[in-house]
Structure 1
C-alpha cells in the first residue's frame, strides 16, 4: 500500500483525526520544515516497502488475508479492506489465539498517538466486523474489554 501524508494548513485535532481515519499515515501542518517532510517520507517508505521481510498472505481457519491487495478471502468470497483494517487483521493473523493488547494494536495502526481518540480504534473494529460478517469471519474476532483483541475459534 502507498503511504499517505496529509499536508494541511488546518491544525485542529478533529481535522487530524478525520485524516487519520481516512487512512493517512501522518499529518503535517503548514508551514513545515522540508527536511522533516523528507525524513518522514523516507521512514514511511522504509516501513511499507521492506521487501522480503514478510510474506504477502496469512491464513486462519480457511480464511486468507492478502496484505498487498487488502482483501480477506474465504473460498470464492472476498472482502475488500481499508488500510487500517488490513493492518489490524495482519497483526491478529500473526498472533492467532493470543491476546494482542490494545496499546500494541494502536501502535501498529497509527504511528503517532496524538491523532488517536478513544473511539478511533472502536470505529475501525466496528467497520471491520460489519465488512466480514457476510463471509462469517466476525465470529473469530474476539474483544477482551479494556485489554485487546484476539483471533479465536
Structure 2
C-alpha cells in the first residue's frame, strides 16, 4: 500500500483528496501542523507527496526544497496558482507533476498512478513489495512497517526479499543460503539461523508478531 502525504491548507480539500485516494487503496496522511511539515514527512515516510503552494508560514516551494535535501520521493504540486511562472518554478524546485485547482478527482487519481508508476517501476516490476502493513523497497533496500522504517543488514534484506517474493509459501534454507552466498561473506547453517532470528526480532519490535513461520526440515514462510 503506497503512502501519500497531503500538505494542503484547506481541510475540506485535504479530506476530500484523502477520502477519494483511500478508495483506491492508498494510505493517506494529512499534515495539520504547517510549521513542522518535515517532522510529519519523516514520521510518515511517504512514497508520494501532494503539496499545495500557498501554505501558512512557509510556502510549498520551500517545503519542496527541504524534502529534496532528504529524499527523491515524487512530489505533485496542487495549486490554484497556476500561471506559467509558478508551474515552471514548481518543476524547477523538484516537482514531478502539477495539478491545477479546481481539479477533477479522477484526473488526480490518474496522475497519482502515473507518477507512482514512473517512480517505482523497475524493469516492469514494482519497486515496492507489499505484505500487510509492511513495505519492502527494493530501490533503497529499506523495510517500512506502519510508517516506521526498519534498519536491515544486507543479509537481512536479502532474506526479507525472498520471504516477500514467496509470501504464503515456504522458502527452503538451501535456497536462502544460495542467495546469501552471492556475497563474499561466509554463510553457514548457523549464520542463517542467527540472521533469521535477528530479522524476526526486528519485526516483532515493530509490532509484527509471528509473521515468519518455521517448519523444521523445510524452511520459513512469511504469513
Specify the alignment match of 1:59 in structure 2: 130
Alignment partner of 1:139 is 2:210 = yes
Deviation at residue 124 of structure 1 after TM alignment:
0.6
Please give the per-residue CA displacement for 1:46-77, whole angstroms capped at 9, x wherever unaligned.
xxxxx626432101112101123222212221
**Alignment root-mean-square deviation, CA:** 2.2
Scaled by the length of structure 2, the TM-score of the pair is 0.41
User: Please, which of 61, 83, 86 is the counterpart of residue 157 of structure 2?
Assistant: 86
Structure scoring higher RCO (CA < 8 A, sep ≥ 6) equals 1
Deviation at residue 88 of structure 1 after TM alignment:
0.8
Specify the alignment match of 1:99 in structure 2: 170
> How many residue pairs were aligned?
102
Match of 2:206, SS state, is coil
Structure 1: give runs of 5+ residues left out of the alignment.
1-50
2-side partners of 1:127 and 1:94: how far apart? 20
Specify the alignment match of 1:69 in structure 2: 140
Specify the alignment match of 2:186 in structure 1: 115
2-side partners of 1:53 and 1:110: how far apart? 27
Distance 1:99-1:60 versus aligned 2 partners, 3 A rule: same
Scaled by the length of structure 1, the TM-score of the pair is 0.59
Distance 1:106-1:54 versus aligned 2 partners, 3 A rule: farther
2-side partners of 1:149 and 1:125: how far apart? 9
Rg bigger for which structure? Answer: 2
Mapped contact 2:142–2:151 kept (Cα < 8 A): yes
Mapped contact 1:58–1:65 kept (Cα < 8 A): yes
Indicate the larger mover: 67-76 or 111-120: 111-120
Distance 1:82-1:113 versus aligned 2 partners, 3 A rule: closer
**Runs (4+) of structure 1 moved beyond 4 Å?**
none
Match of 1:133, SS state, is helix
1-side partners of 2:183 and 2:160: how far apart? 20
